[in-house]
Amino acid sequence: MLTGKRPTHPVGIGVQGIATIVASPQFPKCEFFTPVRSFSICLRHSTLKAIDDAGLNFLSASIRFADSDAESTLDLLMSTGRSSVFWNVQSIYDALEATRSGNLKEYYLKSPLL
């Protein structure tokens, strides 16, 4: 927010559309994904650093399901790659704070990759 740029996954692509749950879904009953319910969706696929998504990189996709223009009912955040440097939400905040403060050495000593 300080720089006006995305702090993570700056290279990506987004699309918008409509998702409609099929009349006879082949998954267990779910209060949210009820048959024939439709949502406005936004999907963003991105990489951590590389321009090409074929590179060995940390990849992410986010899908926002919304009932209206102003409210998101459900956001799905997904990540994959050869290795994941984050294993929970707190680790993301810790990494962002270490980057902001410039104290990466302490962060890496506290949270080494296996």
Domain encompassing residue 99: 84-114
Same-domain status, 90 and 38: no
Same-domain status, 41 and 67: yes
- Mean pLDDT, to the nearest integer, of 76-87? 70
Query: 10 Å Cβ neighbour count for 36?
Result: 10
- Confidence (pLDDT) at 83: 58
Across 53-87, b (16+ Cβ under 10 Å) vs e yields eeeebbbbebbbbeeeeeeeeeeeeebeeeeeeee
Same-domain status, 58 and 6: yes
Question: Who contacts 98 (Cβ-Cβ below 8 Å, separation ≥6)?
Answer: 104, 106, 107
Reported as type and span, the H/E element at residue 101 is helix 89-101
- Confidence (pLDDT) at 20: 93
- Confidence (pLDDT) at 114: 46
Do residues 48 and 56 make contact, with C-beta atoms less than 8 angstroms apart?
no
- pLDDT one-digit tens code per residue, 92-105: 788 778 878 888 78
Secondary structure class of 94 (helix, strand, coil): helix
User: pLDDT class for 16, splitting at 50, 70, 90?
Assistant: very high
DSSP state of 79: E
Same-domain status, 51 and 76: yes
- Mean pLDDT, to the nearest integer, of 51-71? 71
Same-domain status, 78 and 104: no
Same-domain status, 15 and 70: yes
- Mean pLDDT, to the nearest integer, of 31-45? 89
